[in-house]
Amino acid sequence: MSMHRNQSFFGWLLGLLALSTGCTDCGKGPEPVAAEIRFVGDRTSLENAFNTNFKFEVRLDAANDQEVRVDFETVEGTAKAGEDFEPVAGTLVFEPGDLIQDILVPIVIDEGLESDEQFTVVLSNPVNGYLLGNVQEATGTILNDDTSLEVVLPEGGYDTPHGPDNPPPGMTLVWSDEFDGTAINPSNWVHETGGNGWGNNEWQVYTNDEANSYVEDGHLMIVALQEGGTYTSARLKSQDLQEFQFGRIDIRAVLPFGQGVWPALWMLGANFNEVGWPECGEIDIMELLGHQPNFVHGTAHWGEIIGGGHPSYGVSTYSDFPTTFVDEFHVFSIEWSQDTIQWLMNDEVFHTITSENVAPYENPFNAPFFFIMNIAVGGNWPGYPDDTTLFPQFMAVDYIRVYQ
C-alpha cells in the first residue's frame, strides 16, 4: 500500500518535470528569420531637368516583424561628387512589415558636353538583415545629352620665344591664325567632310558641325565625339587658301588621348589633286597615338605605292616625365628649306630629312604645301577605341604661324 503511494507520487513528479522541461517554447512564435537586403537594380538616365534625382530602390526579400536597418553611401567613379552628383550617406530603416525603401541621389545638371559618367551606391552594416556575400552596390550611369563642350584648358606649358613681334633671326611673319575671333576664318580654312575610312580604315565621320570644331577663347577646338556606335570629328584644311613653300612653322597645341584616338597637324603638297598621294608629299609636323600620350611623331611620306607600301621617314620624341602632351601646351615646329626639313618640339630639333633620304625620287618637298588639322578615330596605325577610351576628346590649337 505504501509502495503504491510512493509509485504514484514519483509518477506525478516525473510528469511535472516533463511539463516543465518539454515546453520551453510553449506560447512563443518561431524565431525571426533575417531578411536579405538588396538593390532592385542599377540606374541609368539622361542628365537633364527631368532627372534631377536618381532613385535607387532597396528591397527586403521577405516581410520582417523586426526593424531592419542598413547604412548607405555614394562612391565616386568617373562621376565626381560635387561636380556630377551630390554625395549622400545615411541609414535606411525598414519598419516591421516594410519591404521597400528608396535612396535619392541628386544629379548636378550642367550644359557642358561630357562623357557618360558613373558612380555607385554601397550598402553596409545591416541590422536584423544581411547582404548576400556581404556586398551590395548599385551603379548610377549619367548619360550626357548636352551639345556644347565644357573645356578646362591646362595652364602653363611651353611657348616659343618667337612671335609676331619677335620672329626668328632673318625672318618675318608672313601669315598666322591666332584664332582670336568668334568663328573659324573661312579665308584660312575649309572643312573636309565624310566617313569613308580616309584610306586608313578610320571610323570617324568628319563634319562641319559646331559640336566638332569651333573657336573659343583664342583657341581652335577640334572635338571627337561618340554618339552611340558612331564617332564624329573635324578635319580642316587650308588648300587653295593658304599654301606655303619653305619657312619656319610653329603650331602651339594641347592634344587628346586614349586608345584609337589619332590627332595630327600636317601638310600635303598643293599638287595633291593632280598627282595624288604619296607622290605629292606629306609632312607630318605632329602625330600622336592616343595610347602613348607622352610621344609624338614627325614623319615625311613621298614616292609611290609599291606592293602596298611607300617611302617614309619618321622619328618620335617625348614629353618630360611625368607630364604628357595632354597635360600642357607644346610647340610643334618645322624649319623647312630647299632640300631639307627639320622637326622641332619646344624649339629642340629631333628629326631631319634631306633630298638624300628622298632619293632616288625627286624631292616633292621643294614645292608649295597646305595645312591639315584633324582628330581621327581608329585606323590601321593607332588601332581602335576600346572600353578604356573616353569621349569626347579635344585638340586645342593656340596659334599657327609661318615665318619666311
Nearest-CA neighbor of 316 among 353, 287, 283?
287
Contact 67, 162 (CB under 8 A): no
Q: Clarify whether 287 is annotated catalytic.
A: yes
Nearest-CA neighbor of 70 among 97, 31, 41, 39?
39
Contact 250, 269 (CB under 8 A): no
The pLDDT, as a whole number, for residue 148 is: 53
- Of 12-16, 139-143, 265-269, 291-295, the poorest mean pLDDT is in 12-16
The pLDDT, as a whole number, for residue 182 is: 94
- Of 39-53, 213-227, 239-253, 337-351, the poorest mean pLDDT is in 39-53
**Alpha-carbon span 92 to 123, nearest angstrom:** 9
In this predicted structure, the answer to whether residue 11 has a pLDDT above a threshold of 80 is no
Which domains are delineated in the chain?
Answer: 35-146 (2.60.40.2030), 150-403 (2.60.120.200)
**Alpha-carbon span 46 to 141, nearest angstrom:** 8
Nearest-CA neighbor of 311 among 345, 359, 351?
359
Task: Count Cβ atoms below 10 Å from residue 12 Cβ, excluding itself.
Answer: 10
In the structure, what pLDDT confidence band is assigned to residue 228 with cuts at 50, 70 and 90? confident
In the structure, what pLDDT confidence band is assigned to residue 2 with cuts at 50, 70 and 90? very low
Looking only at the bridges linking them, the beta strands covering 129-130 and 312-318 are unpaired
- Of 64-73, 108-117, 318-327, the poorest mean pLDDT is in 108-117
**CA-to-CA dists, residue 64 to 100, 127, 165, 249, angstroms:** 12, 12, 80, 75
Looking only at the bridges linking them, the beta strands covering 148-149 and 112-113 are parallel
pLDDT above 90 as % of the chain: 76
In this predicted structure, the answer to whether residue 76 has a pLDDT above a threshold of 70 is yes
Strand partners, 341: 336, 353
Sole residue written with cell 602613348? 292
Sole residue written with cell 516581410? 63
pTM: 0.67
The pLDDT, as a whole number, for residue 19 is: 46
Contact 394, 220 (CB under 8 A): no
**Alpha-carbon span 77 to 389, nearest angstrom:** 15
Region 333-347: what's the mean pLDDT? Answer: 98
Task: Count Cβ atoms below 10 Å from residue 37 Cβ, excluding itself.
Answer: 24
Residue tagged active-site, from 287, 304, 335, 356:
287
Looking only at the bridges linking them, the beta strands covering 213-216 and 204-206 are unpaired
- Amino acid letter, 152: V
In this predicted structure, the answer to whether residue 9 has a pLDDT above a threshold of 60 is no
Residue tagged active-site, from 282, 304, 335, 356:
282
In the structure, what pLDDT confidence band is assigned to residue 135 with cuts at 50, 70 and 90? confident
Nearest-CA neighbor of 300 among 253, 336, 331, 324?
336
